[in-house]
Structure 1
């Protein structure tokens, strides 16, 4: 049954399902209609809820555009419209909601550019724009949002370079720009010392040239890093030896499906926090370092479809938590170490 069928004058609107009011003014401050099977469009009349702080219409079937009148809700702190069928561009005057902290618009059918005006929203903490049809660049102005901790725009049609201004976001924890058409990696990512999760999988960051992975050296400053995924980016050159100097908190490192050559850094065993290491689908040569056996927390490891040679190091038997191992289609020799039975 539609939740709004119970909205009638027999009950004070502050007691309606999905509605909460401020105790002092008895004005609507929260409208939470998450997962209520609703459809249709968002009425421009929503702008009359001038005390609204939280708007959650996620997991419904709303369609059409977000009314520009939403920009009049100056008290808004959270807008959650994810998992609907909303279309058109994001209203530029949403940037007038200067108290906004959380903006969650993922999994809709939004189009157009991400408004540069969002750079003036100085209180934004989390922005989720994943799985839409946004195009154009990441606005340079995002570098002005000093409070930003999460920027996630995975699965759009974003092009151009990751702007240098992103390096100004000293509070950023998560940067997820995977599955777009971005190019180039700015060295300023190393300025993001609180960065714990960097997702750039499935872009065009590389050009199959030497030294394209030199930016890894700058990430040594990101001492809180937990996951670094560089898969599917057309990177060339070799893996920087500075990889071994990344944070010991790093739990997942992926660089599969690129054009990386030469060897695996011999000191990779320094990354003692890793539980996932994937380097398959490259052109790696040389041997698998014996030091790989120091990565006691590894649960999955992939070196398949490279040009690795030599024997499988017996130290892999130290990895007692390992449950997935890919070594296929290399030039490995010798026998399978008995220690793998451990």
Structure 2
């Protein structure tokens, strides 16, 4: 029995020692991992050359690194899981030692002044889900080995100086939901490998140098909602398969070389559409009548294309804040009128921008413009064939800042109620057939900076009330029938006023 007892004691002792050794080994590994994170953070701090807000002053030996500003650790292992240093005005670079913090799930460095390249060591972070570094001064290329971060959900590198191509290898990131690289210097084409990104919802690649056609890949991405490709050098047509995605909320392809027509049933295909921007391209055809069914639409940018025909009813677009149809061939130019759609816009109580200049619209401005949104600050209808008088009710649009009505066929007098537009900065009613006096109420417009009334049939004196226009920088009254002396108040301002009074019947002199 003694021998058996000895064996039993030795057996228990062996397992106790083994247990202690295992615990010691785990503790050593844990401490080793913690030390790796601590040293990596200190290297990150050392690579910061300017910290004007003192954000990293807590990064010292007196505090455990899990308590340092911007650092979040896991409860169990005390390993760094989040590094959040956004909006801290930090300058410098990101140390490659960041790749040693193997538990990192999120790195948030938005809105700093970090420069140099994206360290390729990031590719070692297999747990990384978010990498949000927009609005810095990062340069170089996007590392292709980001594809090794298989859990990545969000990539945001917008507002930097990144060059090169979008790595095709990113097409292996099956969990990627958003990638935004706007406002960089990226080139090449949108990778076809993005067709494999089954979770993708948003691609933001505006303001780069991408070229070629938009790849016909997005139609198979069932979660896809937002595509931003404006301000590039893209050509071709919008891929037909894209119109299969009823989930689309944003489609922005302005300022490219894209052509083709918009499908007649656009409003039914995109019932959730909120933002449509196709301006400054080579689109043709008519504006789809079905656009009225996209009742969630808040911005419609279609300027500088070759659209023709009538503007369809927009009465269901109650959330619209911007309608830009400028520089097309819309309207018939007939006296009967093409401007009935303006009355539909009275339902758009948030409307701020209404631009229909440089088209072929005819007829009179309807009185219903008095009921347009009180938020309207841009009203541009110049270079059309609009007839009749300017509605006096324009004075109801109290937040107007910019009014363009030049190069039409307006007649009658300038409404006195324009003097109620206290926020007005510029008004251009040149090249019409307006007559009568220049309203003295213009003197109430203390914010007025530019006034264009040239090439009309305006008579009588220049009102001395212009002295109230303290911010006036440009006054063009040439080619009218104005008479009398030039008001001394204008002479007093002439040294900093861009002034043209030629081709009138004025008397007096200018210095």
* TM-fit CA distance, 1:109: 1.3
Corresponding position of 1:285: 410
Q: Could you say if the C-alpha distance between residues 8 and 41 of structure 1 is closer, same or farther in structure 2, counting changes exceeding 3 Å? A: closer
| 1:86 is aligned to 2:86 | no
* TM-fit CA distance, 1:280: 4.6
Distance in 2 between residues matched to 1:179 and 1:2, nearest whole Å: 38
With normalisation by structure 1, the TM-score equals 0.78
1:190-209 Cα deviation digits (max 9, x unpaired): 44444443333333333373
Distance in 1 between residues matched to 2:306 and 2:266, nearest whole Å: 18
Q: Which has the higher Rg, Structure 1 or Structure 2?
A: 2
| 1:326 is aligned to 2:428 | no
* TM-fit CA distance, 1:105: 0.4
Corresponding position of 2:72: none
> Of 296, 315, 329, which aligns to 1:207?
329
Corresponding position of 2:209: 109
SS in 1 for 2:394: helix
| 1:226 is aligned to 2:352 | yes
Corresponding position of 1:22: none
Corresponding position of 2:228: 128
CA root-mean-square deviation:
3.6
Distance in 2 between residues matched to 1:192 and 1:276, nearest whole Å: 29
* TM-fit CA distance, 1:29: 0.5
Distance in 1 between residues matched to 2:266 and 2:343, nearest whole Å: 17
Work out the number of aligned pairs and report it. Answer: 333
| 1:65 is aligned to 2:190 | no
1:192-271 residue pairs with structure 2 within 5 A? 192-205=294-307, 206-207=328-329, 209-210=332-333, 213=339, 215-232=341-358, 234-238=359-363, 240-241=365-366, 243-256=369-382, 258-263=383-388, 265-266=390-391, 268-269=393-394
Question: Is residue 198–residue 227 contact of structure 1 (8 Å, CA) maintained in 2?
Answer: no
Q: Could you say if the C-alpha distance between residues 255 and 143 of structure 1 is closer, same or farther in structure 2, counting changes exceeding 3 Å? A: farther
Q: Could you say if the C-alpha distance between residues 125 and 283 of structure 1 is closer, same or farther in structure 2, counting changes exceeding 3 Å? A: same
| 1:32 is aligned to 2:158 | no
Distance in 2 between residues matched to 1:307 and 1:201, nearest whole Å: 27
SS in 2 for 1:308: strand
Looking at both structures, which has the greater relative contact order when contacts are Cα pairs under 8 Å and sequence separation is at least 6?
1
1:6-41 Cα deviation digits (max 9, x unpaired): 3454x446299668xxxxx97100123433433135
SS in 2 for 1:31: strand
Distance in 2 between residues matched to 1:116 and 1:322, nearest whole Å: 49
Distance in 1 between residues matched to 2:247 and 2:454, nearest whole Å: 46
SS in 1 for 2:170: helix
Q: Could you say if the C-alpha distance between residues 16 and 188 of structure 1 is closer, same or farther in structure 2, counting changes exceeding 3 Å? A: closer
With normalisation by structure 2, the TM-score equals 0.55
| 1:301 is aligned to 2:392 | no
Task: Give unpaired runs (5+ residues) of structure 1.
Answer: 20-24
Distance in 1 between residues matched to 2:398 and 2:423, nearest whole Å: 6
Q: Could you say if the C-alpha distance between residues 197 and 29 of structure 1 is closer, same or farther in structure 2, counting changes exceeding 3 Å? A: same
Question: Is residue 306–residue 330 contact of structure 1 (8 Å, CA) maintained in 2?
Answer: yes
Corresponding position of 1:178: 279
Q: Could you say if the C-alpha distance between residues 173 and 280 of structure 1 is closer, same or farther in structure 2, counting changes exceeding 3 Å? A: same
Corresponding position of 2:258: 158
